Chains A and B, each alone.
Chain A
């Protein structure tokens, strides 16, 4: 079930570790398959376990511990907004409130059209650029004024 492209990417990760430490690639393997499927079903996690030769439970442990893994389907765009203190002092909470109102959802909810899921984030290590948000984990958007939020939502629809 793992696509050839995913396997190729995982194989590249495996070259980074000693041959008897394949489990070290589980973090990146899960990120790679999540990019493909949008979330981690137990079937997909089992595939990863088999591919890396590790117990399934050990894969579930990792997937449930790190909070950027999606354990259920998300909207087309998962938007994670940092509301931690340094961001809050520079408008992070205001940006989150604006998005909640605009999208008509609360934290961890998905819009009816399935386009957006809104998630409250913790420190992303970009406090100087507040308000900061992530789109599907990998794209960081900085200095998000209401106007820029409008534009982003329009683009992602």
Chain B
């Protein structure tokens, strides 16, 4: 079995990533997959903006970036008769550890995103949009620029789209290494050419966004779902998933699985099925824990996870969140103290420094877990960690503070015996190393790229 090879097998239920092979990303390929048919339908049939929003509401599409906010509702917040510029922004600043789904949309199906944004712009009466792309995926940024050129040349973007009175221009913007810019108001600051420090809300972007103008920001995958919704109907999209959890969802599966990669499944698909699609556990080892929605979400114990369905409401019931759909799978050889330490370091590194509880607290969280991991922990450290998490969570302008605090609390709660063992015995419960990478070298050797 060739583990680790790049896979285009996104699963039988895929709609956004259906039929992609890595090379068929161009406009003509997209058009042969019914691309831009939704836009043409809107313009040909003279669908009203409010009809488009109603269709999106019917689909129960929820924001795919992490918060899961109903998309149609968000679109309806935009002032309809605002005099002056309004902006549409796509958040492709994908840097939540474990998340790599938007990248596959950008590089393998960029036009589905462009079409989704054009439709959104039409629905909200917006003339200019930006796609903020993670700086680390530069070749995908370049490709997106190329796709934009194709769309402009074909008359899908620019003045008087397809001969109608509707005009919309879309541009690519790149980040350059700041996780915080995935937060929507930090992202807006970044487009304005500033440090990416989140704004205090309210006012929300729908009233005061980019350059102080009404702005709607959605995730890449959210926009990418829109053409299908318009083409096939909101009802059809809703029926792919569950009530209140419409459609398919891309899950980025990483960690100790045989085939890390993206899988697009119907919302409500059992986790066990998703794990099977990802080839099961690497080396057949036992599952110990899963972070179901990106590194900011609470970890769930492996045996609990095996009985959970992958949708917003089911995962919330289990005490975590679907988040961005990044599923980080850890096996029995993973030291949970070390795992928590690495995540704590990440938030410490990425805190923007604006709010004291986060700027100082993330450093303390990291240093305390670091000393436990390195055999210098004290008995009282676990309570100190939980107390610290309480002092950070809910006390900052943006959610990065919560994102740092929630995983720590869940790691300590679910794997307290490992932390205690570390403090008492000054070493790992699971043997040296902490990460089970024994099989990695072997797997990489087999990878046929």
Contact = CB atoms under 8 A, between A and B. Distances in A.
B174 A84 contact: no
Nearest to A91: B440
Interface residues of B, number: 65
Contacts of A24: 173, 191-193
A122 to B, nearest CB: 6
B334 A21 contact: no
Contact of B350 (A18, A91, A122): A122
Contacts of A129: 6, 100, 260
B137 interface: yes
Most B C-beta atoms less than 10 A away, residue of A61, A84, A93, A140: A84
Interface string A30-57: 1100000000000000000000101000
Given A27-B175, A90-B260, A122 B342 contact: no
A18 B127 CA distance: 12
B153 interface: no
Contact of B135 (A61, A66, A84, A91): A66
A121 B178 CA distance: 11
B134 interface: yes
A125 interface: yes
Contact of B100 (A68, A127, A143, A146): A127
B54 to A, nearest CB: 32
B349 interface: yes
A85 interface: yes
A66 B175 contact: yes
Interface in A1-36: 16, 18, 21, 23-28, 30-31
Given A66-B176, A128-B100, A89 B256 contact: yes
Contacts of A127: 97-100, 252, 254, 260, 326, 328
Contacts of B261: 128
A89 B437 contact: yes
Given A16-B171, A86-B254, A125 B134 contact: yes
A23 B189 CA distance: 11
Contact of A30 (B138, B173, B176, B255): B176
Contact of B346 (A67, A91, A123, A128): A123
B222 interface: no
Contacts of B437: 88-91, 93-94
Nearest to A84: B97
B194 A125 contact: no
Report, as a range, how many residues of chain A touch the other chain.
Answer: 35 or more
A29 to B, nearest CB: 9
B384 interface: no
Given A86-B255, A143-B449, A125 B103 contact: yes
Given A90-B440, A122-B349, A143-B4, A66 B177 contact: yes
Nearest to A22: B193
Nearest to B132: A27
A62 interface: yes
Contact of A122 (B130, B190, B196, B346): B346
Interface stretch (A99-107, A110-118, A130-138): A130-138
B404 to A, nearest CB: 13
B262 interface: yes
A31 B176 contact: yes
A21 B136 CA distance: 25
Given A27-B175, A84-B97, A124 B138 contact: no
Nearest to B329: A89
Contact of B193 (A62, A123, A140): A62
Contacts of B193: 21, 23-27, 52, 54, 58, 62
20 contacts: A16-B171, A23-B193, A24-B191, A27-B176, A27-B193, A66-B177, A84-B342, A86-B295, A89-B255, A123-B95, A124-B137, A125-B102, A126-B136, A127-B326, A129-B100, A130-B260, A138-B138, A139-B139, A142-B449, A148-B444
